[in-house]
A and B are shown apart, each in its own frame.
Chain A
Amino acid sequence: MADTKKLKRAQEAYKTLCKMLDKNGWHYDKNEDRLSIACSASGDDLPIDVRMSIDADRQLAVFLSSMPFTVPADRRDALAVAVSRANYGMVDGSFDYKYSEGKIVFRLTSSFIDSVVGVEMFDYMLGVSCSTVDNYNDKFLMIVKSDMTPDEVVKVIE
């Protein structure tokens, strides 16, 4: 449970997050108790799920986006290679892959411990995350629907 000082800082960060979204004209659902928001964005090919939250205990701003498909069992190995390859070139954020269930979630976090974070930081988080998800979600889906070998997968993701 976050102490009072951490909670206050987290609430400030959440206000700044909402300010950024309002400034950029985003329509979103707010949960002020959980310090989270949810919305979606239109990508080039697939819709982009957007969930942002402020973790008061850890003092972390978190972006999460779940892929709108599940990886079937016979393609799980291929997607492990695809996700690894996508992550390898990345500057910030990563795709998290729950191999046992075939779920892929993009995650990007930024700490604000004892720090003051501005609107532009959240703008950066949202912009980079949506762009990265949009870049890879269709490639992952193509690999799911294909019978590409791991070596072929590497070439597609590169």
Chain B
Amino acid sequence: MSDAKQLKNAKSVFSTLCKALDSRNWKYNKDENELVITFGVSGDDLSMNFVVKIDADRELVRLFSRMPFKFPEERRLEGAIATCHANYLLVDGSLDYDYTDGECTFRMTASYRDSLLSPTLFDYMVDVSCQTVDDLNDKLLLVAKGVLTPDEFLKKLTG
């Protein structure tokens, strides 16, 4: 459970996050009690949904975007290999893949412990996440459907 100071910091970070989104006129839903915002973005191929949470206990900004599909049982190993291929190429953020049910989620985190985060940092997190998810989601779907092998997926990423 966060102490009063941690909670105050978290609320301040949440406020900076909201200001960053307001300044670019983004529509989003917010839960000021849970310090969570959610928003959707139209990508090149698939729609993308994002959740950003301010974790007061850990002093972290946590962004998630779940893929709108799952890897079926017969493609679970391919999903594991493909997500590993993608992660090795990423500079920031990573794909979390649940082998037991085929779910895949993009995750990005920033610590604000003992730090002062600017609105530009949130712009960066949102922009990089949107680009990364948009780049990966359609290709991952093709692996899930058996259209691409993990090797072919990797070739598409590396050009």
B97 and A84 contacting across the interface, CB-CB below 8 Å: yes
Hey, which bits of chain B sit against chain A, CB under 8 A?
55, 58-60, 62, 76-77, 79-81, 83-85, 87-88, 90-92, 94-100, 107, 109-121, 124-125, 150
Q: Can you name 11 extra interface pairs (CB under 8 A) apart from A85-B99, A117-B115?
A: A58-B91, A90-B96, A93-B109, A94-B87, A96-B90, A99-B81, A99-B85, A109-B91, A111-B124, A113-B124, A121-B111
A2 nearest CB across to chain B (Å): 15
For this complex, 26 residue pairs linking A to B, each with C-beta atoms less than 8 Å apart, are A58-B91, A58-B92, A77-B80, A77-B81, A80-B81, A83-B84, A84-B96, A87-B96, A87-B97, A92-B109, A95-B87, A97-B87, A98-B88, A111-B92, A115-B116, A115-B121, A116-B116, A117-B114, A118-B113, A118-B114, A118-B115, A119-B114, A120-B113, A121-B115, A123-B113, A150-B80
A150 B92 Cβ-Cβ under 8 A: no
A114 CB within 8 Å of chain B: yes
Chain B interface secondary structure, helix, strand, loop or mixed? mixed
Tell whether, in the assembled complex, residue A81 and residue B124 are in contact, meaning their CB atoms are under 8 Å apart.
no
| Contact A150:B121 (CB < 8 A) given known A99-B84, A118-B114 | no
A residues whose Cβ falls under 8 Å from a Cβ of B? 55, 58-60, 77, 80-81, 83-85, 87-88, 90-99, 107, 109-121, 123-125, 150, 154
B19 to chain A, nearest CB (A): 13
Q: Which residues of A contact B112 (CB under 8 A)?
A: 121
Asked if A96 and B87 sit within 8 Å, CB to CB, the answer is yes
In the bound complex, do residue A120 and residue B114 qualify as a contact, i.e. CB atoms below 8 Å apart?
A: yes
Main SS of the interface on chain A?
mixed
Chain B residues with CB below 8 A from A60, complex form: 91-92
**What residues on B are CB-neighbors of A96 within 8 Å?**
84, 87-88, 90, 94
| A116–B58 CB distance below 8 A | no
The listed residue with most B CB atoms (<10 A of its CB), out of A60, A111, A116, A121, is A111
In contact, A84 and B99 (Cβ under 8 angstroms): yes
Pair B91/A121 contact, Cβ less than 8 Å: no
